[in-house]
Amino acid sequence: MNIGYYPGCALHGSSDDYEESLRACLRALDVQLQEIDEWICCGATAAHALNQKLSTALPARNLALAERGGFGEMLAPCPMCSMQLIKAQKALAGNEGLRREMSGIVELEVRGTTRVLNLIQVFEQVGLDRLKAALKSPLKSLSAACYYGCLLTRPPDVVEFDDCEQPRSMEAFLTALGAKTVDWSYRTECCGGGMTLASEETVLDLSHKILSNAAAHGANCLVVACPMCHVNLDMKQPDIERRYGVRHGLVIYYLSDVVGMALGLPESALGINRHFVGKA
C-alpha cells in the first residue's frame, strides 16, 4: 500500500514521536507513506475563526498538492488536520465555483478528489486478518481505555467515521491484538485541545476527569490517535497530579504504539521511551 502523507505541523514539531511511531508501525505492515511535497499548515484551530476564505484555502492547497502528486488517498494522522481537510474536500467537490476560486487563490488546480484518511482508517484498510497474521507479542498486559477525543468522529456529517457518541473501531483492533478494553464514559469528551497554552487550568481539569474515569473503569492505559490529546494526557499528567493531589500513573499510548508493540517492534523504534509517563 502506497498512500500520500500529510504530517501537519504537530508531527514535524512537538509530536514528532507520533510520526516516529506511525512510520515504524506502518513500515512493518508494508504501508509506504509518501509525504506531500510543499505542504503547508491547514489552519486548524485558528483560521476558521478569523477568515472563512482562508480556512478553506489553506487545506485546499494541500489537497491540490496531493492531487498533483497523483494520490487518491492521503493520511492526515492529526484529527484537527483531517477534519479541516475533509471539510474543504467536500466543499470543493460539490461546488464548481468554489473550485475555480480556490484554484486561483492557491495557484494550483484543485478538484477535491483526494480522500483524506485518519490513522484508524489506514489500519482498517490493512485489515484485522493481516494484523492477526503479523502478531508476535499479544498485548495481554493492557487494559486499555480507547480515547477518541472530540474530533475523530465529529462533526459526524463531515468526517463520516464511526459512531460519533459510541465509537468502537479502536477497540476492535486492540481486542484482535490480545488487549482488554474497558467500557467507559469519556471516550469522546474533550481534553481541552489547544487550550493548553491559553487556559492551562481548563486543560488540567478536563484531562483529570478523563484520566479519573478511565482508571475508575479498570484501565491501566489510554490509547489515543491525536497528538494534542497525547500532549494533554501524557505531558500534562504530572501537573494534573500535583494540582489535584492524586496519582494517576496512566501511560498514554498512540494507537500506532500498541499496534507496533504487538508486531514485536521495540519501544525505542516507536518513540515510547520519549513519553512522560512510564510503561503500563
CATH number at residue 182: 3.40.50.11810
Are residues 74 and 212 located together in one domain of the fold? no
pLDDT tens-digit map of 197-211: 889 999 999 999 999
Cell of 218: 479498570
> How confident is the model at residue 196, as a pLDDT?
81
CATH number at residue 38: 1.20.1050.140
Are residues 138 and 270 located together in one domain of the fold? yes
Average pLDDT of every residue of the chain: 96
37 located within any domain: yes
pLDDT mean over 241-257: 97
Confidence category of residue 49, pLDDT binned at 50, 70, 90? confident
Cell of 30: 508494508
Domain span holding position 212: 128-274
Query: Could you say which of 95, 117, 139 is where a domain stops?
Result: 117
Q: Tell me how far CA of residue 164 lies from CA of 23, 73, 114, 174, in angstroms.
A: 27, 23, 23, 19
Are residues 266 and 138 located together in one domain of the fold? yes
Are residues 101 and 208 located together in one domain of the fold? no
Query: Could you say which of 58, 89, 117 is where a domain stops?
Result: 117
pLDDT of residue 280 exceeding 60: no
Query: Could you say which of 91, 117, 143 is where a domain stops?
Result: 117
Are residues 136 and 262 located together in one domain of the fold? yes
Enumerate residues 6+ apart whose C-beta is below 8 A from 99. Answer: 92, 110, 111, 112
The single residue listed with the C-alpha cell 481534553 is 191
Structural domain count of the chain: 2
Confidence category of residue 229, pLDDT binned at 50, 70, 90? very high
% the chain with pLDDT above 90? 93
The single residue listed with the C-alpha cell 477518541 is 148
For residues 223 and 88, give the distance between their C-alpha atoms in angstroms, rounded to a whole number: 28
Confidence category of residue 44, pLDDT binned at 50, 70, 90? confident
Are residues 166 and 262 located together in one domain of the fold? yes
> How confident is the model at residue 121, as a pLDDT?
98
